[in-house]
Amino acid sequence: MSLTFVHTSDWHLGRAYQRLGRKTSALRQWRFDAIHRVYDLADSQRAAFILVAGDVFQSDTPRADVMAEVLALLADAPVPTIIIPGNHDPLTEGSVWRRDEFAGQLAGRSNIRLALTCEPLELDFCDTTVFPCPVTSNSTPEDLSSWIPAGTRGGSRYRIGLAHGRWQGYSGEPYAVNFIAANRAEAAGLDYLALGDFHSYTLADHPAAKARCYYAGTSECTACDEPRAGYALLVQLDAPGDEPRVAPHRVGKMRPMVIAETLSPEAGYGPLQQKIDGLEDADDVLLKLEVSGALNESDFQDFTAWAAGLDQRLLGVDGQLGALYREPSRADFDTLGLGKAEREVLEALQQPPQASSATEGDDAQVLIAGLASRPEICREALALYYRELKQESQA
Amino acid sequence: MNIVRIKISDWRSTAARELVLQPGLNILRGENEAGKSTIVEAIQKALYWDHTAKKGKSNNVDFIAPVNNPNARPTVELELLIGSSRVTVTKTVSGKKDHRQCTLKVLDPQGGERTFRDAQAEEKLRELLARSHAMPGLDWSEQSEGYAYLAESLPIAACAALSIGKDGTIMPSARLEQLRKRIGAARDEQLNKTLKQPLVDSAKSGTLAYELRQTRQQKRDELATVKSQLAKVDELRRSILKLDREAAGLGPQLEQAKQLRKTRQAQQKRQKEAEGVRAKCSDMADACRRDLAAAEKRMEEIESLRKQRDSQTQSCDQLDGQLKQLDPARQAAIQHCERIKGDRIKAEGALESVRRRIDAHASRLEVFQQTDACAQAQQSFDQSEALQSALAEAEKAFDAIGPWPTGEDIGRWRKAFAELSALKRDAMSSLQLNFEPARPLRIEWSADSGSAQALTAEPGAPATLGAVRSLRLEIEGVGRLQISCGATELAELLKTIQQQGDSLNQSLSAHGAAADELPGGFDRLEEIRIRGEEAERGVKEARRQAGQAGRELGDRDRLRKQLKDAQQKLTSAVTRLEALKSLVPEGLDADGLRAEIERLKDEERAQQTIYQKLVEGGGSAERELAALDKKYSLAEQQLSQARAAAGEASRRLVELERDGLADDVRRQNIQQLRVKTAGLESEVEQAQQAVADLGPAISDDELAAQDTKLAALDGKVGELNLQLAEKRAELRTICGNDPQGELERLEQEIGELDARLAGEERKLGALALLDGVLTQQRQSLARLIAKPLNERIAPWLRQIRGLPTELEIDADTSRITRIITDRGGYRDELPFEEHSEGLKGQVGLLVRLTLARLTAEQNGGQHFVVLDDPLTETSPFRRPEMFRILQQAAEHLQILLVTCHEDAVALLPGHVIAF
């Protein structure tokens, strides 16, 4: 008998998008909407069950209203849904998993299985054994999946792991905490290891995928730098031991995007503007805009005004403009007809004295040297100088 | 750069004017308000007014249009020679934006002409002016500035501009100085209003940064609270974990303790059971031992009894022999005793006979005596009885009389009665008088007492009384006085009689009885009285006699008793005599009897002696017999005992041997019992060993102690669970506020506030840096220009003052601090501001001319300076020298001197333009 199920994780329900201001409440709802699309996927694909690989909640101590909403959400689950706590909502004392208002309310529901202990869950209706690995702390220096007993694939039952943590070496770096052994699926003879924690789903050519370990990613994007967020995985197995067929299905609405550009006064910000203005369905785009470099005075002002207006057109903008400076060019200064003294001031701002050279001077010199040693202040001062000179000239 | 030509139209009050300037000195001369300054203004606007700049206070040109033609378009056309190029700038200077315009034509030496318009023209113009080092501050002085002269260029390394303020401050450039001032102000504002924490800690006076910091501090405080909550959560979680572990650790202990207790309990039970087994075995062994002992004892007893029976039987035979030996002696003794006893009985009979005869005689004598005594007693008694009888008679007579009235009483009664009778009569009379009684009343004494007696009327009584009423007058103790009358109204009368009767009654009450005895009236009463007194006397006499007889004879009871005793004794003596009567011959009187008695007593004594001897002999024989009897009895007793013992032994043996067992069988049984006992003892030992093997006995106390430990452990587990519940409840309360989410939110907000604050601080840093650099620049320039300025200006100052003069310039403050004058023996070092206005103006002009000249030298050409009446404060004596200096300067500069003073025209050789 073949097996089809849905793998999802990192719902982060109750997460507040405070930086998005007016859209906060709408986005909060989006996260719930995404779960309903997960349900739709399971329903339409006749999935046997849904695996939720941790971080259902943003916090292990959500407010009462969030708990109530999640209870209502879980009530709609169309198929048996197996949930483990993740590092955001670990199974700690006082956590949501131990509270009557939540866990107590789920006790009588047959469609929700809170897997709070490390023991196999036998799903006889689909000849499947699930090995859940609940997270008990937000930082665990051990592999919580290590309890899964060794086994071999291809028996009479499907062996499915459910864990939350970092697949060792997933991004090339070793992890010291919250890790999952890279050979876990192999060692435990798992047909599939459903993972949660990373917010982008695992691509098929990733070493983890080859080891039958997949991240489903978050069901709804939480940050701009999550390229494959907003998906749930539909997993199909023809028989125990067979290779799983894994297909991502979009369930989230938000489209994360990161644009990093280095601007120059000469080139201006026109190309960047075109790129962003050309985005389709901009309302769903959560943009992380990392802009560095410099613009001339007028461009800078225009750009910052334009960037501020982006928030109205896109879903949200995480504008990292701190590394962008308004920088009057030499030509800008030339138009002011600088006298020699003024040029010397300009040079002093462009090539400030080294701090060490002024340590023995008077207080003013030390102060200036100290300030001049900070490039951001020099850039700011230069822009200020230009602006003031221009204003003075126009006066 | 030189100004070649200037042309204005619709400029203030000037409709149109064109001036052509020449190199060197140009003098624009005219009266006040002739429009000279208008020309200066037009040059300034043409060069430096930016028609594209936003309209503001500093570039307001509304007032330039003629008052009578506000829609006019004031225009200036200025032709300049910059290097070898001829540049014409035309600007329409209007307050109306649409009217403003700028055109720039550049004609290069090769004949090429370029025209620029509007913004491009402005930009090109600025470029050209910069290239020629034209500076607004250098190019002209305004009329109202007096001695504030500007210089823009220096030929030295600084090659920058300077200005000298009213306070003597040298500035690197007017623009830089303005900028520096604004930057300083902005910095101060940023520092004071934006970043510096206010002295007064109030929300309203808070700067932006202060507010940000305050907000940030609040957020940090909130964060600290949340962190503390999270720390508390961690702590609680740790506590719960610890408690949980502790409780979990105690769980096995508790189970262990429970198990131990159960084990101990079971062990105790087993021990008790083993002990029971041991006790049972022990009891059985004891029983067996007892059986054995009994069997052994029985055997021993049988044997002993047999011996005893045999021994006693033997003793019986011996004693029987002894008895047989004793018997003959004993029989002889018995016979001896019997003989003596016969003799003694006989003697006793003789003695008894004598005694009876004595007694008979004595009895006859006694009868005699008692008969006399009896007669005497009877006599006394009879006498006494007679007296008593007489007394009784007297008393009876006395009693019969009863009480009697005294003579006095009777007299009084008589009187009373007479009075009563009189009253009655009065009453009768009254009745007859008033009621005419039909018949007379009858008064009658009645001796009866009790109920009233109705008296009937006599026949023949007057019938006038229709109804007879009877009245009864009772005189208690006396009798009744019946009064019958015919009228009820007699009641009143009778009432009176009653009253008197009552009184009489009282008198008679004590003598009622006597009165009763006097039916015959007062005579009877008198009789009674006499009889009474006689009886009284009789009684007294009888009493006296009776009393006397009593005293003499005793009272009646004693006499009666004496008589009775005497009679009894007599009876007794007669009775005794009856039995002995035969022994006494008749006819003996008392004396004869007494003599016979004496004789018989002698006989009695003889017989007594005989008897005494026989008694003594009999006693000895009896004692002997008694000794033999005692011996025989002892032997008999011993024999009896022996027989009893033998019998008892035999009986006991019969009992013991009732089982009918042979001795061998009994011994066999005993042996079996011994074996059984040994076996049971072995079992007891085994049971004891089993008990010992179970270890030391577990006492109830020990089990109780175990229970206590268990309870303590259980209590501790309970307490831990209670603490756990409390901690969990607390944790649950804290976690209900989502501290983790709150932490993330606050950290984000604080991060944003930090960024804003950093931005503000960066802004301040930029302001401070720029301010510092500008200040340094000014100081640097001041230091650089001090020497060359003095070198150039010193000859001119000496020329006008006649004394070596030097300017002291403070590099730090960029100010001309003092003017130092060498007055031949001493140096006059007066602060700049303390000098006269004239000198200060002259110094300013000289500095400006010097700098302009040096700038021109630097550029290899000429430079123009516009001076709007610069020497107004200069005295007429010094003005010629100043004109000469101007003339010298004009050799290298184009100067446009605007003045209303004629002396300039007279003294200065230059191109004069008259207004």
For residue range A23-50, list pLDDT tens digits in order: 777 778 889 999 999 999 999 999 999 9
> What number of C-beta contacts closer than 8 Å exist between A and B?
174
The predicted pLDDT at position B91 comes to 94
Q: Is B302 helix (H, G, I), strand (E, B) or coil?
A: helix
B529 neighbors B405 (Cβ within 8 angstroms) = yes
Fill in the DSSP letter of residue A109: -
Fill in the DSSP letter of residue B381: H
Residues B717-740: tens digit of each pLDDT: 888 888 888 888 888 888 877 888
Residues B832-880: tens digit of each pLDDT: 878 887 888 788 788 777 777 766 666 666 678 888 887 888 888 888 8
Q: Which amino acid is at B759?
A: G
Please identify which residue in the block is written with the tokens 């043996």.
Answer: B653
Please name the member of A336, A352, A394 whose beta carbon is closest to the beta carbon of B53.
Answer: A394
A210 pLDDT above the threshold of 50: yes
Residues B360-415: tens digit of each pLDDT: 888 888 888 888 888 888 888 888 778 778 778 777 777 766 666 677 777 776 77
The predicted pLDDT at position A237 comes to 96
Tell me if chain A has a CB within 8 Å of the CB of B776.
Answer: yes
The reply to whether ipTM tops 0.90 is no
Tell me if chain B has a CB within 8 Å of the CB of A349.
Answer: yes
B270 pLDDT above the threshold of 50: yes
Please name the member of B178, B735, B776 whose beta carbon is closest to the beta carbon of A61.
Answer: B735
The predicted pLDDT at position B239 comes to 87
Tell me if chain B has a CB within 8 Å of the CB of A92.
Answer: yes
> Which structure tokens are listed for A175?
């992890």
Dist CA B716 CA B253 (whole Å): 11
The predicted pLDDT at position A227 comes to 86
Check B772 against A64: CB less than 8 A apart.
no
Percent of chain B with pLDDT over 90: 5
Check A63 against B767: CB less than 8 A apart.
no
For testing contact with chain A, the best of B773, B812, B851 (most A CBs within 10 A): B773
| Chain B positions in Cβ-Cβ contact with residue A85 (cut-off 8 Å) | none
The H or E element that residue A286 is part of is strand A285-295
Dist CA B677 CA B291 (whole Å): 9
For A115-182, the DSSP string reads --SSS-EEEGGGTEEEEEE---SSS-SS-TTTTSPP--SSSSSEEEEEEESEETTTTSS--SSSEE-T
- What is the distance in angstroms between the Cα of A75 and the nearest Cα belonging to chain B? 22
Dist CA B50 CA B246 (whole Å): 86
B616 neighbors B394 (Cβ within 8 angstroms) = no
| Chain A positions in Cβ-Cβ contact with residue B233 (cut-off 8 Å) | 61, 94
> pLDDT band for position B141 (50/70/90)?
low
The predicted pLDDT at position B561 comes to 84
Radius of gyration of chain B (CA): 94
The H or E element that residue B150 is part of is strand B150-151
User: How long, in residues, is chain B?
Assistant: 915
CA dihedral in degrees (A95, A96, A99, A104; nearest 10)? -150
Closest residue in B to A13 (Cα) is B741
Looking at every residue in chain B, the average pLDDT score rounds to: 76
Check A340 against B774: CB less than 8 A apart.
no
Percent of chain B with pLDDT over 70: 76
Check A339 against B773: CB less than 8 A apart.
no
* Better pLDDT: B755 or B433: B755
- What is the distance in angstroms between the Cα of A95 and the nearest Cα belonging to chain B? 7
> pLDDT band for position B444 (50/70/90)?
very low
> Which structure tokens are listed for A380?
């700011």
Beta-strand ranges (E) seen in B814-873 are: 815-822, 827-831, 863-868
Please name the member of B123, B176, B734 whose beta carbon is closest to the beta carbon of A345.
Answer: B176
pLDDT, average across residues A90-109: 87
Dist CA B12 CA B40 (whole Å): 13
For B40-85, the DSSP string reads HHHHHHHHH--TTSPP-STT--GGGS-TT-TT---EEEEEEEETTE
> pLDDT band for position B453 (50/70/90)?
very low
* Better pLDDT: A148 or B647: A148
Dist CA A92 CA A60 (whole Å): 8
Those residues with Cβ within 8 angstroms of residue A90's Cβ, 6 or more apart along the chain or in another chain: A60, A135, A136, A137, A138
Question: Minimum mean pLDDT among A163-172, A213-222, B279-288, B440-449: which range?
Answer: B440-449
CA atoms within 13 A on the CB side of B618: 15
The predicted pLDDT at position A196 comes to 97
Those residues with Cβ within 8 angstroms of residue B745's Cβ, 6 or more apart along the chain or in another chain: A16, A18
Dist CA A128 CA A48 (whole Å): 10
The predicted pLDDT at position B149 comes to 33
| Chain A positions in Cβ-Cβ contact with residue B59 (cut-off 8 Å) | 394-395
- Beta bridge partners, B14, equal B11
A208 neighbors A167 (Cβ within 8 angstroms) = yes
- Beta bridge partners, B470, equal B484
Residues A234-267: tens digit of each pLDDT: 999 999 999 999 999 999 988 888 888 888 877 8
Alpha helices by DSSP H, listed for A154-296, are 184-187, 207-210, 270-277
- What is the distance in angstroms between the Cα of B18 and the nearest Cα belonging to chain A? 27
> Which structure tokens are listed for B824?
């031949």
B459 pLDDT above the threshold of 50: no
Estimate to the nearest angstrom the gap between the alpha carbon of B688 and the chain centroid: 60
Other C-beta atoms within 10 Å of B573: how many?
20
Question: Minimum mean pLDDT among B202-216, B576-590, B605-619, B825-839: which range?
Answer: B202-216
Residues B669-703: tens digit of each pLDDT: 889 989 998 998 888 888 888 888 877 777 788 88
A255 neighbors A229 (Cβ within 8 angstroms) = no
The predicted pLDDT at position B106 comes to 94
Dist CA B745 CA B249 (whole Å): 40
Closest residue in A to B59 (Cα) is A395
Dist CA A182 CA B33 (whole Å): 97
Looking at every residue in chain A, the average pLDDT score rounds to: 87
The predicted pLDDT at position B58 comes to 59
List % helix, strand, coil for chain A (3-state, nearest 5).
35, 25, 40
CA dihedral in degrees (B692, B693, B694, B697; nearest 10)? 20
SS (H, E, C) B168-205: CEEECCHHHHHHHHHHHHHHHHHHHHHHCCCCCCCCCC
Sign of CA dihedral B692, B694, B695, B699: negative
The H or E element that residue A360 is part of is none
Residues B282-307: tens digit of each pLDDT: 888 889 888 889 888 888 888 888 88
- Beta bridge partners, B90, equal B77, B103
Sign of CA dihedral A200, A204, A205, A208: positive
The predicted pLDDT at position B552 comes to 65
pLDDT, average across residues B509-524: 48
B128 pLDDT above the threshold of 60: yes
Can you give the pTM of this predicted structure?
0.48
Closest residue in B to A370 (Cα) is B769
Those residues with Cβ within 8 angstroms of residue B341's Cβ, 6 or more apart along the chain or in another chain: B618
Tell me if chain B has a CB within 8 Å of the CB of A338.
Answer: yes
Residues B474-493: tens digit of each pLDDT: 444 444 445 544 444 444 55
A54 neighbors A86 (Cβ within 8 angstroms) = yes
| Chain B positions in Cβ-Cβ contact with residue A339 (cut-off 8 Å) | 130, 133, 135, 152-153, 159-161, 172-173, 175-176
Dist CA A387 CA A300 (whole Å): 12
Crossing angle, helix B663-693 and helix B208-401, to 10 degrees? Answer: 140
Those residues with Cβ within 8 angstroms of residue B432's Cβ, 6 or more apart along the chain or in another chain: none
* Better pLDDT: A332 or A271: A271
* Better pLDDT: A317 or B858: A317
Question: Minimum mean pLDDT among A104-108, B489-493, B730-734, B807-811: which range?
Answer: B489-493
Tell me if chain A has a CB within 8 Å of the CB of B751.
Answer: no
Starting at the edge strand found earlier in the chain, the sheet holding B827-831 runs B805-810, B815-822, B827-831
> Which structure tokens are listed for B532?
């009474």
Check B126 against A335: CB less than 8 A apart.
yes
The predicted pLDDT at position B506 comes to 53
The predicted pLDDT at position B401 comes to 64
- What is the distance in angstroms between the Cα of A364 and the nearest Cα belonging to chain B? 7
Residues B695-710: tens digit of each pLDDT: 777 778 888 888 888 8
Fill in the DSSP letter of residue A340: H
Tell me which residue of B354, B335, B355, B350 sits closest to B611, measured CA to CA.
B350
For testing contact with chain A, the best of B738, B763, B854 (most A CBs within 10 A): B738
| Chain A positions in Cβ-Cβ contact with residue B189 (cut-off 8 Å) | none
Q: Is B805 helix (H, G, I), strand (E, B) or coil?
A: strand
Residues B208-259: tens digit of each pLDDT: 777 777 888 888 898 898 888 888 888 888 888 888 888 888 888 888 888 8
B594 pLDDT above the threshold of 90: no
User: How long, in residues, is chain A?
Assistant: 395
B885 neighbors B800 (Cβ within 8 angstroms) = yes
A43 neighbors A78 (Cβ within 8 angstroms) = yes
* Better pLDDT: A70 or B399: A70
Dist CA A232 CA A219 (whole Å): 6
Check B160 against A340: CB less than 8 A apart.
yes
Check B765 against A322: CB less than 8 A apart.
no
Contact residues, A window 276-335, toward B, CB-based 8 Å cutoff: 322, 334-335
CA A290, A202, A276 angle in degrees (round to 5)? 25
> Which structure tokens are listed for B354?
């004598």
- What is the distance in angstroms between the Cα of A122 and the nearest Cα belonging to chain B? 29
Closest residue in A to B743 (Cα) is A59
> Which structure tokens are listed for B570?
């007599």
The predicted pLDDT at position B443 comes to 42
